[in-house]
Structure formats: C-alpha cells, structure tokens
Amino acid sequence: MRERTILEKRLGDFRALESGLNDNRDMIALAEAEGEAGLVAEAEKALAELRDRARKAQVAALLSGEADANDAYVEVHAGAGGTESQDWAEMLARMYVRWAEQHGYKAEWLEESPGEEAGLKSATFQVKGPNAYGWLKTESGVHRLVRISPFDANARRHTSFASVWVYPVIDDAINIEIQDKDLRIDTYRASGAGGQHVNKTESAVRVTHIPTGIVAACQSERSQHQNKAQAMKMLRALEDAKTDIGWGHQIRSYVLQPYQMVKDVRTGVEKGNARAVLDGDLDEFLEASLSGKKRNKGDKDLE
C-alpha cells in the first residue's frame, strides 16, 4: 500500500505538470494573438514555477534505493569543544526538525543527552514520512560552524564541529541476527523532556552492541520495555547501514561571522542567508547532493 501511494503521487504530480505545461503554452499562444501582454507575463511566470516543480520531481525520481521510501533516524553528536560544540549540535538538530516540519514530516524525539551548560552532547530523533530517508541520507558527515561565540566574554571567533548520522528505519522483513550475549543493556533516568513519569523513573534504555561498539538509546516511551524495543529497532538499523562516518568526513561549513555563508564542500552549493538554512532551508543542498552534480562557480542552477 505504501508503494502504491508513492506511485500514485508520482503519477499525479507528472500529470499536473503536463497539464500545466499545455494550459500555459496554449494561454501564451492565445494571449500573443490578442496582444495581451499581461496574460503572456502571467503564463510565463506560471511556467517558471512549473520548471521548479519539475526539477524537484526529477530529483525525487532519484529516490529509488531499497530504503529511500522509509522513515529516517537522525543522530546528532557534538564534537570536541565543550559548550561551543554542544550548542552547535542543538542548532543542527533544530535545523533538521524545522526542515521536516516544513515538508509535512513528523519529527519524534527519541533520546537526548544535554550539555553541561547549554546545547546537546547527543540526540536522536525519527523523521516520519514518505522518502524521509531518501531525502536525508546524504546529510551524514561532519558539519562545521564558524561564529562569534555567545559564550566567550571576549567575543572571539570560534570554530565548532558536530557530526550527523542518518540511517533508515527498517522493518522486520530484513533479517539481522543480533545475539543476546553480544548486548549490554543499561537503564537510566531520562535526562530530557519526556513527561513527569519518564523523568522520575529509570525508564530510559541504552543498548550497546559489544563487538562493534554501536550504541542505541531511547527515552521517549513511558516504560523500559517500550524503550528497549525501540532501541533494539534502532540497533538493527545501524547494523544494516554498514557505513562508518569518521571525523574527516566534513560535508558542509556554516559561517555566521564575519560574513554569512553556508557552503557544501561536496557539491559547491553556496547560500548567503545562513540563518534561513539553519531555519530548515536545505532543499538546494539536498537536491544537489542527491543528483550528484558538482556546481561550478557562476552556475545559476543544477541543470
């Protein structure tokens, strides 16, 4: 049913583009014959909007991987640097949550470890919606922030790092064998927001796969049993990902001072409005990385 829904949406989008193209092309021909310059301009504007929609649909057609249609887990981890990096990790988590909300996805918080003074040491949330993993999968890597630190009394410029890890939510159809003897299961009191009951009992669960060192944790549910089940599901997804992201894998730089710019080091895409990007304006970066096209300086678009 999920596959059928996706196919129906793609067909519907294609037919809407086709109809819009034909209607506006006919409108231009009639308006030019009647000398209606205003109608011509209106139709040309509509065609420009259709072109943007067609470009997005073209990128969406690339989401044909086995897990691209699935929901996604997003993990954010602060790098070395204490409060600076922990604040940056929280800013990154907020950026992805805002992007999800703007695209009609639901972001469900699963686990968080607050920083000592501000921000987050780490956090995990699930983005739910069609093609969530497909859109976000290229965001795994190291993200670099340059800014005047709000935590520095001398107002010096600081560089902070945080890593993002995105992996798909998998179903029971994928058989991954994890033996109980290879697991260490710890319970603890939830440290983040989660309701009165969650914060007063040791309901949070952390599962460690001893042979690989992979850790999955959940504190969003109200019981140890539910949190353990969710953590095990995350662990199976991590095992299936089979990819390691090292600290040398920097993918994007975010500069807030002395000027504003966000640049993707893989595709060359740049945006001057860094604040908008941090508010979730990520589509241009996602589309470029998915299409695998390198933008050269001076290019107006990816075509």
Residue 223 reports pLDDT greater than 70: yes
Handedness of CA 76, 81, 87, 92 (dihedral sign): negative
pLDDT value for 6? 76
What is the tens place of the pLDDT at every residue in 242-300?
Answer: 444 445 578 999 999 889 999 999 999 999 999 999 999 999 999 999 887 555 444 44
Q: Which residue has the higher pLDDT, 35 or 241?
A: 35
Q: What is the pLDDT of residue 229?
A: 79
Q: 188 forms bridges with which residues in the sheet?
A: 204
Average confidence (pLDDT) over 38-64 = 89
Give CA–CA dist 270/296, Å, rounded. 10
In whole angstroms, what is the distance from residue 197 CA to residue 213 CA? 30
pLDDT at 7 over 90: no
Instruction: Give the integer Cα–Cα distance in Å for 124 and 110.
Output: 5
Q: Which of 29-43, 95-109, 142-156, 224-238 has the lowest mean pLDDT?
A: 224-238
Span 34-60, average pLDDT: 90
Please provide the average confidence, as pLDDT, over all residues in the chain.
84
Determine the pLDDT at residue 99: 98
Domain 69-248+277-292: give its CATH code: 3.30.70.1660
> Three-state DSSP class for 286?
helix
Identity of the amino acid at 147:
R
Cβ-based neighbours of 299, under 8 Å, separated by 6 or more: none
Q: What mean pLDDT do residues 69-88 have? A: 92
> H or E segment at 25?
helix 2-34
Extract the runs of DSSP E, i.e. beta strands, from 180-265.
Answer: 183-188, 204-209, 214-218, 250-255, 261-264
Show Cβ contacts of residue 78 under 8 Å, excluding neighbours closer than 6 positions.
85, 86, 88, 89, 115, 119, 120, 121, 122, 162
The pTM score is 0.72
Tokens of 65: 């991987």
Q: Poorest-confidence range of 61-70, 92-101, 275-284?
A: 61-70
pLDDT in tens, 110-123: 989 999 889 999 99
Query: Do residues 192 and 112 touch, judged by C-beta distance below 8 A?
Result: yes
Which of residues 249 and 164 earns the better pLDDT score?
164
Mean pLDDT, residues 28-37 taken together: 92
- Domain boundaries of the chain, sorted by first residue: 2-60, 69-248+277-292
pLDDT higher than 70, residue 171: no
Q: Is residue 125 scored above 90 in pLDDT?
A: yes
Give the model's pLDDT for residue 189: 74
Total Cβ atoms within 10 A of residue 166:
22
Q: Which residue has the higher pLDDT, 116 or 44?
A: 44
The residue-averaged pLDDT of 228-251 equals 66
